[in-house]
């Protein structure tokens, strides 16, 4: 095995360097799972909701210039994993990486999910690629002895992912689909509200859908249930230097631009402008 890359200077907190691709496979027609070999000190420094900035390789004559931010799907032992959808030049290039190849990564970056020790029951509502971001909450909740319900939304049954992962951490899994109409807000609204009204939800978490964000904001306001949302934005530097990745947030009675890479990607659900 080659020597592990070292940080540029002592005291630096962000890892930059190449990691070896240990596994890389299609999960379904849309998504791929990539596991990198990582120093255990690096995976131990990762928190759910944080992200890495990946330098995607060149594909043909198209070399993606900038890095691509990608949220951590898993960080345990010597494995750092990412679950992603091929949807642009960067991810298309990433998909070509062979097992044994190497990928330049920088991270972990940003603010992850914050779990209040007083919470007993968490509810997450995930759709599409948002599932990858929320999945690490399952292990974190279990480690803190919190109960977790995962509502997983997808177009059709074949696009549901990570159900076993949630189940293996003791989570209750609820699946809702576009194909049978169960993923509609009109269906989810009473289902989630009933749980909140019964006092069975201490906090909600979401990622990947503006529709679901608005629903959880409204229900959370009504029932006094706090929540967090992980947001996306196009990025350049990933560190907070360039101010490319701002989004508007409601804070202290005003609408302020905050950097998704630095102040986020996880924000208080009440602050997000959906």
Partner 1 sequence: MNAPLGRPAVDMSVRIGGLTLKNPVMPASGTFSEELAEVFDLGTLGAHVLKTITRDPRTGNPTPRVTEVEGGMLNAIGIPSKGVEAFLAKVVPFYSRYDVPLVVSISAPTSADFATLAARVSVPGVAAIEANISCPNIEEDGRAFAIRPGSTREVMARLRDATDLPLWAKLTPNTGETPEVARAVEEAGGDALVVANTILAMAVDTRTRRPRLGNLMGGLSGPALKPITLRMAYQCARATSLPVIGCGGIATVDDALEYLIAGASAVQVGTETFIDPLAMPRIIEGLRARAEAEGVAAIRDYVGTLADAAEPEGVVFMQAAP
Beta bridge partners of 18: 104
User: 173 or 239, CB closer to partner 1?
Assistant: 239
Cβ of residue 258: shortest distance to partner 1, in angstroms?
11
CB of 272 to partner 1, least distance (A): 14
Q: Which is nearer to partner 1, 99 or 273 (CB)?
A: 273
CB of 163 to partner 1, least distance (A): 34
Distance CA(53)–CA(14), nearest Å, equals: 11
Write down the H helix ranges in 72-129.
Answer: 89-94
Residue 54 in tokens:
């990946």
Residues making contact with partner 1 (CB under 8 A): 8-9, 11-14, 16, 55, 62, 64-67, 89, 104, 106, 233-247, 256-257, 262
Would you say 39 or 226 has its CB closer to partner 1? 39
Residue number with CB closer to partner 1 (24 or 247): 247
Q: Which is nearer to partner 1, 26 or 242 (CB)?
A: 242
3-class SS of residue 72: coil
Secondary element (H or E) of residue 191: helix 185-197
Preceding peptide of 108 cis, ω within 30°: yes
Tell me whether residue 173 or residue 244 sits nearer to partner 1 (CB atom): 244
Nearest to 58 by CA among 105, 107, 103, 106: 103
Shortest distance, CB of residue 68 to partner 1, whole angstroms?
Answer: 10
DSSP state of 79: E
3-class DSSP state for residue 134? Answer: helix
Rounded to the nearest 10°, the torsion over CA 172, 78, 21, 128 is 20
Q: How far is the CB of 8 from partner 1 (least distance, A)?
A: 4
Minimum gap (Å) between residue 248 Cβ and partner 1: 9
């Amino acid at each position: 095995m080659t020597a592990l890359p070292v940080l540029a200077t002592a005291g630096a907190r962000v890892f930059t360097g190449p990691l070896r691709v240990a596994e890389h496979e299609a999960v379904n027609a849309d998504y791929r799972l990539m596991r990198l070999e990582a120093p255990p000190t690096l995976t131990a420094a990762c928190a759910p909701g944080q992200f890495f900035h990946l330098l995607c390789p060149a594909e043909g004559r198209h070399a993606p210039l900038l890095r691509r931010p990608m949220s951590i799907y898993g960080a345990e032992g010597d494995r750092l994993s990412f679950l992603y959808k091929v949807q642009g030049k960067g991810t298309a290039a990433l998909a070509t990486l062979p097992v044994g190849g190497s990928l330049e990564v920088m991270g972990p970056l940003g603010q992850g999910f914050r779990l209040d020790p007083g919470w007993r029951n968490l509810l997450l509502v995930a759709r599409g690629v948002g599932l990858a971001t929320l999945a690490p909450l399952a292990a974190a909740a279990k480690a803190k002895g919190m109960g977790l319900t995962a509502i997983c939304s997808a177009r059709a049954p074949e696009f549901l992912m990570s159900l076993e992962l949630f189940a293996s951490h003791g989570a209750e899994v609820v699946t809702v689909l576009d194909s049978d109409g169960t993923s509609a807000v009109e269906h989810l609204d009473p289902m989630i509200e009933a749980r909140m009204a019964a006092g069975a939800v201490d906090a909600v978490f979401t990622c990947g859908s503006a529709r679901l964000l608005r629903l959880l904001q409204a229900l959370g306001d009504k029932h006094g249930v706090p929540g967090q949302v992980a947001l996306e934005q196009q990025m350049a530097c990933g560190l907070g230097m360039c101010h490319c990745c701002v989004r508007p947030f409601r804070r202290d009675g005003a609408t302020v631009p905050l950097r998704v890479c630095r102040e986020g990607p996880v924000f208080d659900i009440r602050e997000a402008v959906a």
